[in-house]
C-alpha cells in the first residue's frame, strides 16, 4: 500500500489521501446532514473505541439516518485501518455518516439507501496533558428545542468555531461556553471540570452539550480512586473561584486550564491524577487482552 497520512474506508475499499465523496445533489452538501465521531489510537491503545462507534450510530439515528454498519463492524474496520500507518504514529479515527437524499429544506430520507458511511483515519500527534486557556464566550450552546443537540452532528460545530475565533482574537486557546440559562456547559471542543476544596464538579447534562465519553471515563476513574465527583449546575462565578479547572475529550484526554479570562491557575494535581489514571486504565486494557 502507498504511504499516506490519511486513509478512508468507503464502499468496501481503503483509499489513500482525500477522496471526493459528496456530490452537489447530496443532501449532506446542501443541508448539512452529516454526523461523525472521533476516537484515538496511540501507543497501541484505542480507549473506548467501542463507545465511539456506538455513538456515531446513535447520532445518525437522531438525525433521521439509518446506520448501514454495526458498531462492531466500524470498530473492526478502524483496527484494520490503523495497520496502514507506521506503528508509532498517533491517529484520529473518524467514522461518519451522511445523507444523500431528503426533502428540500427538510430532514433526510430515513432509509439505508440514502445513508452513506465513511471511516477516515489520519495521523494526529497526541498532546495529552497540554494546557489550555479559556475565555467565557459570548456565544451559547443551542438549547435542545433549537438544534439536534443529542447528535454529534457537523451542523452543530460552526457555532463552536465562532467561539474559538472569538477566543483566539482575545488571546485564548479556547472558549468556555454557557448553556441557554447562562450556566457553564462545556468548552468549544471538550467537557469541563472544576475542583473546589477537594471536590470535583462537572456540569450536569441538560442536553445543551455533549456529555462526552472521556468525561464519563474520567468521572468513573476519579471516583474509583476515591474522589468525590459531582454533577451540578455551575455558574461562571463557580469556575472563577475554582481551585483547579481541566477539560476532557477524546482528542487530548485531560487538559489542565491555566487561565480563565483574567484569572491565572496552576495545572493542578487532580488534572494530573485524572490523566495518569486514564493512561493506566487504557494501558491495562491492552495488557489484559
Tell me the residue nearest to ligand PMP as measured from the CB: 212
Quick check: 47 binds ligand PMP (CB under 6 A)? no
Question: Shortest approach of ligand PMP to residue 127 CB, angstroms?
Answer: 14
Taking CB under 6 A as the binding criterion, the range among 62-70, 85-93, 243-251, 275-283 that sits at the site for ligand PMP is 243-251
Q: Which of residues 191-210 bind ligand PMP (CB under 6 A)?
A: 191, 210
CB nearer to ligand PMP: pick between 214 and 258: 214
Q: Which of 8, 250, 252, 255 binds ligand PMP (CB under 6 A)?
A: 250
> 192 Cβ partners below 8 Å, 6+ apart?
176, 184, 186, 202, 203, 239, 245, 246, 247, 248, 257
**Residue 132: which of 179, 92, 186, 185 has the closest Cα?**
186
Q: Which of residues 61-100 bind ligand PMP (CB under 6 A)?
A: none
CB nearer to ligand PMP: pick between 190 and 260: 190
Question: Shortest approach of ligand PMP to residue 235 CB, angstroms?
Answer: 19
Q: Which of 60, 213, 219, 242 binds ligand PMP (CB under 6 A)?
A: 213
Whole-number Cα distances in Å, 51 to 32, 191, 242, 282:
24, 17, 31, 14
Taking CB under 6 A as the binding criterion, the range among 26-34, 70-78, 85-93, 185-193 that sits at the site for ligand PMP is 185-193
119: alpha, beta or left? (left if phi > 0; alpha if psi -120 to 50)? beta
Q: What's the CA gap between 205 and 185, in Å, rounded? A: 8
Question: Shortest approach of ligand PMP to residue 189 CB, angstroms?
Answer: 5
φ and ψ at residue 273, rounded to 5 degrees: -65, -40
**Residue 284: which of 47, 38, 42, 83 has the closest Cα?**
47
List b or e across 124-155, with b for residues whose CB sees 16 or more CB atoms inside 10 angstroms: bebeebebbbbbbbebbbbeeeebbbebbbbb
Taking CB under 6 A as the binding criterion, the range among 25-33, 88-96, 231-239, 248-256 that sits at the site for ligand PMP is 248-256
Q: Which of 7, 9, 35, 38 binds ligand PMP (CB under 6 A)?
A: 38
Quick check: 163 binds ligand PMP (CB under 6 A)? no
Instruction: Give the angle subtended at the CA of 157 by the CAs of 193 and 215, to the nearest 5°.
Output: 25
> 18 Cβ partners below 8 Å, 6+ apart?
6, 8
Taking CB under 6 A as the binding criterion, the range among 97-105, 164-172, 211-219, 230-238 that sits at the site for ligand PMP is 211-219
Quick check: 142 binds ligand PMP (CB under 6 A)? no
Residues that bind ligand PMP (CB under 6 A): 38, 160, 186, 189-191, 210, 212-215, 248-250
Amino acid at each position: 500500500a502507498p504511504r499516506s497520512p490519511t486513509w478512508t474506508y468507503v464502499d468496501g475499499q481503503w483509499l489513500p489521501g482525500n477522496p471526493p465523496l459528496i456530490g452537489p445533489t447530496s443532501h449532506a452538501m446542501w443541508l448539512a446532514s452529516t454526523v461523525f465521531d472521533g476516537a484515538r489510537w496511540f501507543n497501541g491503545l484505542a480507549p473506548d473505541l467501542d463507545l465511539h462507534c456506538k455513538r456515531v450510530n446513535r447520532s445518525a439515528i437522531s438525525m433521521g439516518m439509518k446506520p448501514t454498519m454495526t458498531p462492531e463492524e466500524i470498530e473492526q474496520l478502524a483496527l484494520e485501518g490503523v495497520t496502514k500507518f507506521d506503528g508509532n504514529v498517533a491517529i484520529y479515527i473518524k467514522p461518519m455518516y451522511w445523507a444523500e437524499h431528503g426533502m428540500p429544506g427538510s430532514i433526510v430520507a430515513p432509509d439505508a439507501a440514502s445513508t452513506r458511511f465513511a471511516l477516515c483515519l489520519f495521523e494526529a500527534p497526541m498532546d495529552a496533558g497540554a494546557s489550555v486557556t479559556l475565555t467565557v464566550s459570548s456565544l451559547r450552546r443551542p438549547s435542545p428545542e433549537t438544534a439536534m443537540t443529542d447528535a454529534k452532528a457537523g451542523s452543530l460545530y460552526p457555532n463552536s468555531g465562532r467561539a474559538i475565533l472569538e477566543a483566539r482574537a482575545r488571546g485564548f486557546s479556547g472558549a468556555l461556553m454557557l448553556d441557554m440559562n447562562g450556566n457553564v456547559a462545556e468548552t468549544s471542543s471538550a467537557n469541563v471540570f472544576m475542583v473546589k476544596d477537594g471536590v470535583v464538579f462537572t456540569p450536569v447534562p441538560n442536553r445543551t452539550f455533549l456529555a462526552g465519553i472521556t468525561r464519563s471515563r474520567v468521572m468513573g476513574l476519579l471516583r474509583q480512586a476515591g474522589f468525590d465527583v459531582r454533577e451540578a449546575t455551575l455558574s461562571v462565578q463557580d469556575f472563577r473561584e475554582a481551585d483547579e479547572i481541566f477539560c476532557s475529550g477524546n482528542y487530548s484526554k485531560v487538559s489542565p486550564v491555566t487561565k480563565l479570562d483574567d484569572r491565572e491557575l496552576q495545572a493542578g494535581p487532580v488534572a494530573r491524577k485524572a490523566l495518569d489514571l486514564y493512561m493506566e486504565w487504557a494501558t491495562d486494557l491492552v495488557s489484559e487482552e
